[in-house]
Amino acid sequence: MNKFGRIFAVILFIALLSVPFWLRGNYSSPQVQIDSQAALDRYGFYFTEVAKESGVKFTHTSPRLDPKLDHIMPIIASMGAGVSVVDFDRDGWNDLYFTNSGEGSKNALYRNNGDGTFTDLASQMGVAELNSRENGVSMGAVWGDFDNDGFEDLLVYKWGRTELYKNNGGTSFTRLEDTGFPAWANINTAVWLDFDRDGILDIFLGGYFRESLDLWNLPDSKMMPESFEYARNGGRKYLLRGLGNGKFEDATAVAGIESSRWALAAGSADFDGNGFPDIFIANDYAVSELFLNQDGKRFVAAGETSGVGFSPKSGMNASFGDVLNDGRLSIYVSNISEEGILLQGNNLWVPRQDNSGGLKYDNQANNFGVELGGWSWAAQFGDLNNDGTQDIFLTNGYISADKTANYWYDYSKVTVGHNTIIGDAANWPSMEGRSLAGFQQKRVWLNDGAGRFNDVALAIGVKETLDGRGVALVDLWNRGVLDVVVANQNGPALIYKNNSAPGKNWIAFELEGSKSNRSAFGASVTLHWNGKRQRQDLTGGIGFCSQNQRQLHFGLGTAGSVEKAEIVWPSGKKTTIETPGVGKVHKIKEQ
């Protein structure tokens, strides 16, 4: 044996063993809490949590389902804290709607008083008491003007009976009967869209548990996913074509959207540029799905051909953002990351420049630095510091209970099992008060504009570690900055008020369709300024059980002017606005 060769092998071996210890520092969070002035100087903004002082005292509670699930109830009853933004009375101030899930608990509609405070009018307006054993409990809500009367109506999707409330001129709501919605389904995501471009809103509903299950009265305990990453025994999907009168007809089969995966989040936008809105679905226990709208009648499943339908994970969020300021939408899907145990990583599906071979995406989450976010839920794109790039606010955390005991071992034990094992809740070990991916630090990723995001959450004041679910971005006080609202499971809602440094400009667009659906869902605005261009789409629900404000907000950095804004309406019509003024909301009606 060669002595020097042996010495070489030993030295090489020691060097290799030292590598992780050298790299470890790159993975530890560099964040520290800093004072607000330092945050302003360094990042251009900081957040102050103001929910209570603003009068928003909403606290979410979870349901108590069938006793057969008692031993793992925190895992099953782990969703339902949703938040959606609406100006329901059209007074020019964005209001907030929170969903609750405990039987007998109340949803909340916080009217923005315009003076920094909010008042819960849900009970008064008849949209509070929606949660019961008999009719199911809320999982989220989306607002859309289904009858084109100028006032956003309310759809609440539930484990149970999906509800539609007509907005009566901003003064009251009327629950509509015989809507054509499923009598009972376990829905976890809903999106308003106008898939046939007839100017009337349609709705997509994504089922989680299969619709035959009444979660309060289970025939047996075999209701879990048949696989941790390849499950197809979830709820069906519904594509319901709106008739404009509060009634909807089932177009799912005709449209070709057939999936029984476990949907947790969906979004709609025209990804392939053919003028028709497509549908993206982030599925738990499976791959994501992309359905491309061919002609307003038929959809084609394009998950595999586009690249987003590989590598099954635990999809919990679907949001869209122009991360490179090149006029193209990337898709962000959140998943699970737990050190040493389960490193799925979130996906940032960035479209390829060359689409000659059809729409193709590559997962760039690692390259962009937005891959590891804990047990991630909702994530929203928005320019939080008005520097001209789209940032990401991500919430996370699954079950925060006993800090000294966690359920990861038992979870990892049963989730690798064959379907006869994983699919039966009776086989899942009891949680016994343990945590599972709890007490997690949220992420606020600032986009540096060059393809890299940096987490500054703690530094800019996001230090709460509640179990976040829904996130909505909204300019709550009409100041030209994006505030953030977070709905927490079994916890209080949070409002992060944005304190922005002076010197950054912005512009916003509030669209109203005429030939298109009046909510203008599906419209896109591409803004050109200072050699840049950024696209934002108006969506009827985005993220995870969330809906952002309808105004499309663009930060401009220090630019004092904008070259033009190009609007593509859902009807296909295009509008170009030359040199729109900065520092204001442009209210644009489709001509």
**Shorter beta-carbon distance to other proteins: residue 249 or 304:** 304
**Closest approach of Cβ 214 to other proteins, in Å?**
24
501 sits near other proteins (criterion: CB under 8 A): no
- Is the distance from CB of 82 to CB of 487 less than 8 angstroms? yes
Cα 263 from Cα 209, distance rounded (Å): 9
What token pair was written down for 341?
Answer: 């145990």
User: Is 65 near other proteins (CB under 8 A)?
Assistant: no
- The residue behind tokens 């339908």 is 309
Distance CA 15, CA 22 (A): 10
CA 349 from chain centre, in angstroms, equals 15
> Binder to other proteins among 47, 157, 195, 228 (CB under 8 A)?
228
Mask of contacts with other proteins, 237-276, x by CB under 8 A?
----------------------------------------
Q: How near is the Cβ of 25 to other proteins at its closest, in Å?
A: 10
Nearer to other proteins, 66 or 103 (CB): 66
Tell me the two tokens of residue 437.
């991916």
**What is residue 275's DSSP assignment?**
S
Q: Toward other proteins, which CB reaches closer, 312 or 491?
A: 312
- CA-nearest of 143, 104, 22 to 549 is 143
Part in contact with other proteins (CB under 8 A); list of ranges 37-45, 292-300, 307-315, 396-404? 307-315
Minimum distance from CB of 343 to other proteins (Å)?
Answer: 4
| Pairing of β 453-455 and β 468-474 | unpaired
Distance (Å, rounded) from C-alpha 533 to C-alpha 481? Answer: 19
- Measured from the CB of residue 443, what is the shortest distance to other proteins in angstroms? 15
Applying CB under 8 A, among 132, 135, 168, 427 the residue interacting with other proteins is 427
Tell me: does residue 73 bind other proteins (CB under 8 A). no
For residues 197 and 241, the answer to whether their CB atoms sit within 8 Å is no
Closest distance between other proteins and the C-beta of residue 341, in Å? 5
State in angstroms the smallest separation of the CB of 454 from other proteins: 17
The residue type found at 368 is F
Question: What is the Cα–Cα distance from 585 to 73, expressed in whole angstroms?
Answer: 45
Q: Which of 218, 417, 530, 559 binds other proteins (CB under 8 A)?
A: 417
In angstroms, give the least distance from the CB of 345 to other proteins.
4
* 52, 100, 492 from 62: Cα distances, Å: 21, 7, 12
Cα 483 to the chain's mean position, in Å? 16
Among residues 279 and 287, whose Cβ is nearest to other proteins?
287
Give the nearest distance from C-beta 363 to other proteins in angstroms: 9
Under rule CB under 8 A, residue 1 binds other proteins: yes
Among the listed residues 104, 169, 230, 589, the single contact to other proteins using CB under 8 A: 230
149: number of Cβ within 10 Å: 13
Rounded to the nearest whole angstrom, what is the least distance from the CB of residue 311 to other proteins in the complex? Answer: 6
Q: Is 284 in the site for other proteins (CB under 8 A)?
A: no
Pick the closest to residue 216 from 429, 60, 59, 70 (CA basis).
Answer: 70
Scanning residues 309 to 348, which ones bind other proteins (CB under 8 A)?
Answer: 310-312, 338-343, 345
Selected binder of other proteins within 187, 203, 282, 372 (CB under 8 A): 372
- Scanning 146-154, 251-259, 407-415, 563-571 for contacts with other proteins by CB under 8 A, the matching segment is 407-415
We find the least distance from the C-beta atom of residue 65 to other proteins, in angstroms, to be: 20
Is 305 a binding residue for other proteins by CB under 8 A? The answer is no
d(C-alpha 486, C-alpha 484), whole Å: 7
Q: Based on the shown chain and the rule CB under 8 A, indicate whether residue 69 belongs to the binding site for other proteins.
A: no
Are 483 and 475 in contact by the 8 Å Cβ rule? The answer is yes
Q: Which residues contact 335 (CB under 8 A, 6 or more apart)?
A: 313, 314, 315, 316, 344, 345, 346, 347, 376
Q: What does DSSP assign to residue 543?
A: B
Counting every residue written for the chain, the total comes to 591
Beta-carbon contacts of residue 129 (< 8 Å; ≥ 6 apart): 106, 107, 123
The region of 21-29, 183-191, 487-495, 579-587 touching other proteins under the rule CB under 8 A is 21-29
Query: Does 428 sit near other proteins (CB under 8 A)?
Result: yes
User: Which of helix, strand or coil describes residue 23?
Assistant: helix
3-state helix, strand, coil in the chain (%, to 5): 15, 35, 50
The yes or no reply on residue 21 touching other proteins (CB under 8 A) is yes
**Looking at 4-12, 136-144, 294-302, 443-451, which segment touches other proteins (CB under 8 A)?**
4-12
CA distance 456 to 45: 11
CB 44 within 8 A of CB 470: no
Piece of 112-120, 147-155, 197-205, 413-421 that binds other proteins (CB under 8 A): 413-421
Q: Which stretch binds other proteins (CB under 8 A): 86-94, 321-329, 409-417, 510-518?
A: 409-417
Q: Both tokens of residue 166?
A: 């007509």
Q: What residues between 23 and 52 interact with other proteins by CB under 8 A?
A: 23-24, 27-28
Asked whether position 357 contacts other proteins by CB under 8 A, the answer is: no
Q: 311 burial class (0-12, 13-18, 19+ CB within 10 angstroms)?
A: middle
Candidate list 37, 117, 123, 420; residue touching other proteins; CB under 8 A:
420
CA–CA distance, 125 with 166 (Å, rounded to integer): 11
Element (H, E) at 20: helix 3-27
Residue 14 exposure: Cα atoms within 13 Å on the Cβ side: 5
Q: Token pair for residue 133?
A: 């054993």
Measured from the CB atom, the residue of 307 and 388 that comes closer to other proteins is 307
Contact flag: residue 277 with other proteins (CB under 8 A): no
Closest CB to other proteins among residues 84, 227: 227
Q: Which is nearer to other proteins, 185 or 422 (CB)?
A: 422
Residue 4 C-beta: closest distance to other proteins, Å: 8
Site membership for other proteins, residue 589 (CB under 8 A): no
- Residue 2 lies near other proteins (rule: CB under 8 A): yes
**Look-up of token digits 């009776």:** 426
Residue from the set 402, 410, 563, 566 that interacts with other proteins by CB under 8 A? 410
Q: Which spans of this chain sit near other proteins (rule: CB under 8 A)? A: 1-2, 4-6, 8-10, 12-13, 16-17, 19-21, 23-24, 27-28, 226-230, 287, 310-312, 338-343, 345, 365-366, 371-372, 408-410, 412-422, 424, 426-430
